[in-house]
Amino acid sequence: QVQLQESGPGLVKPSETLSLTCSVSGASISSYYWSWIRQSPAKGLEWIGYIHSRGSNNYNPSLKSRVTISLDTSNNLFSLKLTSVTAADTAIYYCATYDNSGVNYWGQGALVTVSS
């Protein structure tokens, strides 16, 4: 059973960088496409992007200029960085697996608030 757990600051100042980590257990980081998805009242569920250990990644064009998703195969985790955040980036951030059947495994979610 794949289990995912997000961690990171719950409060980020405007214009700074949001950084989250997802710890993976029950599966090798070399499997699956590892994704980030966020949810806010304003935008609903929004897919941020994915990365695969073979080196492929794909980002939502709406966020592409600000997003980096990376893998840490040594520690079986992956990370999200979102730069130049504004209040519009306030959301619950989920790490997840993704394939063309959608999202099978989700983390519990991490609320990130952008505020000074």
Partner 1 sequence: DIQMTQSPSSLSASVGDRVTITCRASQSIANYLNWYQQKPGKAPRRLMFAASGLQSGVPSRFSGSGSGTDFTLTISSLRPEDSATYFCQQSYSMPPTFGQGTKVEIK
**61 contributes a contact to partner 1 by CB under 8 A:** yes
Tell me the closest approach of the beta carbon of residue 47 to partner 1, in angstroms.
5
Which residue from 20, 80, 94, 112 is in contact with partner 1, where contact means CB under 8 A? 94
Nearest of 114, 74, 108, 69 to residue 91 by alpha carbon: 114
**56 contributes a contact to partner 1 by CB under 8 A:** no
**100 contributes a contact to partner 1 by CB under 8 A:** yes
Alpha-carbon gap, residue 25 to 100, rounded angstroms: 22
**102 contributes a contact to partner 1 by CB under 8 A:** yes
Given 3-state DSSP classes, what are the helix, strand and coil percentages for the chain, each rounded to the nearest 5? 5, 55, 40
Which residue from 31, 84, 108, 113 is in contact with partner 1, where contact means CB under 8 A? 108
CA distances from 93 to 9, 37, 55, 65, 74 (A): 11, 6, 23, 18, 23
Which residue from 21, 40, 57, 60 is in contact with partner 1, where contact means CB under 8 A? 60
**44 contributes a contact to partner 1 by CB under 8 A:** yes
